[in-house]
Amino acid sequence: MEQELAEKMGPLRQAVTEAAQRVLEAMCFADVTGAEGEDPGGDAFGVEVRFHGSENGLFRMWMNDAVACRLAADFLGLEEAGPEEGRQVALELANMICGSAVSHLSRSGALRLDPPRACAGTAPEGATRLALDAGVVAVTLDEFEGAEKHP
Amino acid sequence: MSISVLVVDDSSAMRAFIRRVFMLSGVEIAEYHQAGNGKEALSVLEGHWVDLILTDINMPVMDGEEFLARLRQDELYKDIPVIVVSTDGTEHRMQRLIALGAKDYVSKPFAPETLRSGVERVLGV
């Protein structure tokens, strides 16, 4: 099954899809119902994490405020969460998804993640769109060619 | 058994999540202290004794590796057990932190039970 998924999606996309599922299910108790959802919606915002070391690249994630608030409430154990809490939790989720995906790609190498931050733009066509009960989360993972690599 | 804990993470959301895990775990917390980086954590320790420290690695100002090294060099703090809770799950990092004196390593994401069992193992409860 894992090999089938890798052949179909490519290793980077498979790694980030599986990492997003792991993080959303473990930390937010979210039920990821599919990996081919629709766009996150008009008010979607983006967050990004750059990583350096044995792998170099950029992780990005998009979701709308409603999804962020739902995930934040579940993450923090609250009945409801506001947009600010939603954005804060989205940053932490991005950090975890990126770290988890890249660690799986390179388990023996050194790795450093920059602090997560907001990013402009919308999810590109090639992004993985994860369907949750609360809406859609889109993610991408891109490696930089020719970047400095450390042993 | 009631313990005092210091949680060091630059994410306020993660500090809140860990606090929630403790509340659900059944481990009784006498005092719950928080810091956003290693430097802040050392300041907290100047005024409070803790039984256990949970720390992230990638943090601004003073990261988890330097914080751990500072603890191990200090006669007063060197025996406080430290659990590292980090997104970096590479073997390279884990081995380095265990060599620096971390008692356990929990990779994010983790199930609440994973953190609870790590705390119980380190504290022998």
pLDDT at B95: 84
pLDDT in tens, B34-48: 999 999 999 999 999
Tell me: ipTM over 0.85: no
What confidence tens digit (pLDDT) does each residue in A138-149 have?
999 998 865 544
Which residue of B lies nearest to A52 if distances are taken between CA atoms?
B88
Place of tokens 């409070």: B48
Of B17, B91, B109, the CB nearest to A22: B109
Q: Residue A149 has what DSSP assignment?
A: B
pLDDT value at position A107?
64
B99 inside 8 A of chain A by CB: no
pLDDT per position as a tens digit, A91-129:
999 999 999 898 888 766 777 888 899 998 888 888 999
Tell me how far apart the alpha carbons of residues B70 and A48 are, in angstroms, rounded to a whole number. 31
> pTM of this prediction?
0.85
Over range A10-35, report the average pLDDT. 86
Which residue has 């170099």 as its token pair? Answer: A56
Cα–Cα distance, B56 to B86 (Å, whole number):
5
Residues B13 and A78: their CA atoms lie apart, in Å, by 12
CA separation for the pair B17, B34 (Å, rounded): 12
- The Cβ of residue A2 has, within 10 Å, a number of other Cβ atoms equal to 8
Parallel, antiparallel or unpaired: strands B52-55 and B2-8: parallel
- Assigned token pair, B106: 């929990």
Residue B113 touches partner A, C-beta closer than 8 Å: no
**Minimal Cβ distance to B13: which of A26, A88, A109:** A88
